Amino acid sequence: MMMGSSKWLMIMVLCSAICGYGVKAWTGEIHGRVVCDVCGDSSVGPEDHVLEGAEVAVLCITKSGEVLNYQAFTDSKGLYTVAETMPESDKWDACLARPISSFNEQCNQLGKGSSAVKFSYTHPSGKSHTVRPFVYQHRSVPSYCI
């Protein structure tokens, strides 16, 4: 059964009002890596490895003053990602990323200087911010490191 032209017009007006309300969408992304510093030398070397399943918290405040709290876990490459799409007027203004825990039994002591990273988020829509790696230290330094 065909719909009358007045019904089509009403549907088109409603779709335009809902879909194109005049709110410009903004998309942001924060990502980083979590690493096990096997030798405890505070640098990433060939003996070090990424940590899968490490937990990271990201706290952001928006331009409108709303506080958003995100939780992420690292994948098999040690990478975590937090992403959001929201109105341009509510985009992230500043964020704080911090490691929460490592589930690796041999590498679960947070390294020096890896407590938190605070940063302004000034990127346009579709661009990402990379946080420096968070480093956990190995429980006991292997003899080949000394």
Q: What is the 3-state secondary structure (H, E, C) of the chain?
A: CCCCHHHHHHHHHHHHHHHCCCCCEEEEEEEEEEEEECCCCCCCCCCCEECCCCEEEEEEEECCCCEEEEEEECCCCCEEEEEEEEEHHHCEEEEEEEEEECCCCCCCEECCCCCCEEEECCCCCCCEEECCCEEEECCCCCHHHC
Task: Give the model confidence (pLDDT) of 8-65 as tens digits.
Answer: 445 444 444 444 455 589 999 999 999 999 988 877 788 899 999 999 999 999 999 9
When pLDDT is averaged across residues 113-133 and rounded to a whole number, the result is: 92
Return d(Cα 136, Cα 54) in angstroms, integer: 10
Q: For residue 106, how many other CB atoms are within 10 A of its CB?
A: 13
Cα separation, 13 vs 9, whole angstroms: 6
pLDDT digits (tens, 9 = 90+) for 92-104: 999 999 999 999 9
Rounded average pLDDT over 70-94: 96
Residue 69 carries which side chain, given as an amino acid letter?
Answer: N
Number of residues written out for the chain: 146
Average pLDDT taken over every residue of the chain = 86
pLDDT score for 55: 97
CA distance 33 to 52: 10
